[in-house]
Structure 1
């Protein structure tokens, strides 16, 4: 909604004079008209049944995808990927062996440690 952005900008630049107050009043009227138009053109929101615990979870700041089963699977996969990335940075040989085992391939031999040239 561009009206909301324009209202934000007007508030950020508000100097407090009568002109600024009139501009703010106009922006608010435009925003209200936009909300009314959205309300009139939006499809009815009547036949949706949402579980109360899910609504409570979202009200408390949780993401809806984290509540549902699919969202939980994705959250666990993201956690696994993050942990693997961090493990790979700290323990590259162990992580490579884990990835080989996890993919069904034989574990590769540990890489020899190469000292930097002096």
Structure 2
């Protein structure tokens, strides 16, 4: 190879390399934009999902029968309502503030017992 051919080869190689680098950078930028859009979509869907959950919770008020009670809590609960002359069937459809708040359940049961003692 002559010096002229070597120079031409080197110049061609540099141009091709530059083109490849530009192409890779453009693809990288395109992918970053695509990922950002996906992230934005995910965040929007998460917000929408949370909003729907809140609306669902507002529209569905939990009832006594929805309570997640242990066997021991359920037995105590039934004893308390029987003590005031009710059955589980009488109150199972009553709406309650929260299905997962056992502290409120304990307060509720204590109120039933106090009412029964008076």
Return the TM-score normalized by structure 2: 0.27
Structure with higher RCO (Cα < 8 A, 6+ apart):
2
Q: Which has the higher helix share?
A: 2
